[in-house]
Amino acid sequence: MPRHPKRPRRLVADGRAYLWTLRHTHHMTDGSQTCRETLRLHPQPAGTGGSLRIVFTQGPGRFVPGGAPLGSGDVGYSRGASLNLHEPGAVRALLDAASARGGAAGGGPDGDDRRLVPAGVGSRRAGRERPRGTDGSAALTRGPVQFSRIGLGLRLCGSSTLAGMRIRIVDAFSTRPFTGNPAGVVLLDSDAFPDTAWLQQVAAEVNLSETAFAHPLPPGGDADWALRWLTPAAEVNMCGHATLATAHVLHTTGTATGTVRFRTRSGVLTTTASADGAITMDFPTAPLTPVEVPPAVAEALGCEIRSAHDTGPDVGDLLVELADEQTVRALAPDLRALAGHGGRGVIATARAEDPAAGHDFVSRCFFPAVGIDEDPVTGSAHTALAPFWSARLGRAALVGLQGAARSGHVRTELRGDRTLLTGSAVTVIDGELLATG
């Protein structure tokens, strides 16, 4: 039996907020089990519109509990395809379908158990034409269209909540596909994270520098979502690009708008989306402590190090300043030798040769100790790079360029013990996670 939330949860769709609940019932017909799941949507604030009951069935029998057919305001679906409530227009089409049945949900039985389906909402029937109304709105078709999954990260009728889950690959700190830093993003629909071993297996399978896992939190708390980051080999305390990727998915799917607060190992981290799609993250500024230059690190990098700083427990890297931009770009370090230095790894940085080129400093990040030879664009590293270079360049707002073959820009703004990191992202893969581990 899937673990579905018993208390209402929040959904933002088509620019409007709803609370939703989902419950199971089962019925035996001629010795065969039919599962019925009822999703209820309640517009928010309360009283701003009628609630909607959406009925999903799966199984061989016609399931009408107590002999009562669907209410006049109900919308019914049966087994096979998928309904994604985050798709633009999906909830609107459902409300239109309910209106076509006779008004608000619970308006009374109509006696014919019709199933009215908004055309174009998640249907996977191959070759099926999706009619449109004369005004371009979703037309309605009749008949038992196949449905088996709601697009809220849920699996209907006895399957695991982990199976059928959406998983996305997002290129962070970039406006173009195949640039920036890719991250996996998995939005969970549960009150807690699955077993850490399963999360680690998924991160290893994705095999990107980080995969982010997030689940919604109850309303009224200090955060909206719980968020964790895992590399292919270990969990980390902070990750900027996977946080950016997660916020991007929440906003582009309509799951969230405006500001989103994440509860993480590093405290509550806030992200805010702007009209142009860029996302600003509010992270704690890394405390920089000067340390002696480790000779082994200079040897592993193959160049002279001007200064070295510890970046504190959240970032956990050794930040080293090199002579110039070309030295950073030309690095070909001994990664095995680097693996024993810095909690997570080493950040190599230098002042930009030509500020007119659009960046103030450059960096590269090597994290072999956590399974990442080189991270293309590292948001968390910029919580250390921002105070380091702001002190030397005399400006709070800077632009960093990170990476070699695959690079990206990070806009930083130092605000005392907080650092704002701004970047864009683009989703390049949107798929389905089938394995439960």
Residues forming the active site? 210
Question: Rounded CA gap, 84 and 253, in Å?
Answer: 10
| List of E strands, 87-234 | 116-118, 140-142, 146-150, 165-172, 181-187, 211-216, 225-230
Q: Quote the tokens at residue 325.
A: 């931009």
CA dist list (Å): 362 to 256, 281, 367: 33, 20, 17
Order of strands, edge to edge, in the sheet holding 146-150?
9-13, 16-29, 32-44, 52-58, 75-83, 146-150
Question: Rounded CA gap, 53 and 231, in Å?
Answer: 41
Give the bridge partners for 367, in sequence order. 372
Q: Which residue is associated with the tokens 């999903």?
A: 56
Query: Is-contact 168 250, C-beta < 8 A?
Result: no
Q: Alpha helices of 57-125 — where are they, by DSSP H?
A: 90-101
According to DSSP, the β-strands at 267-273 and 259-264 are antiparallel
* Number of neighbours of residue 133 by Cβ within 10 angstroms: 11
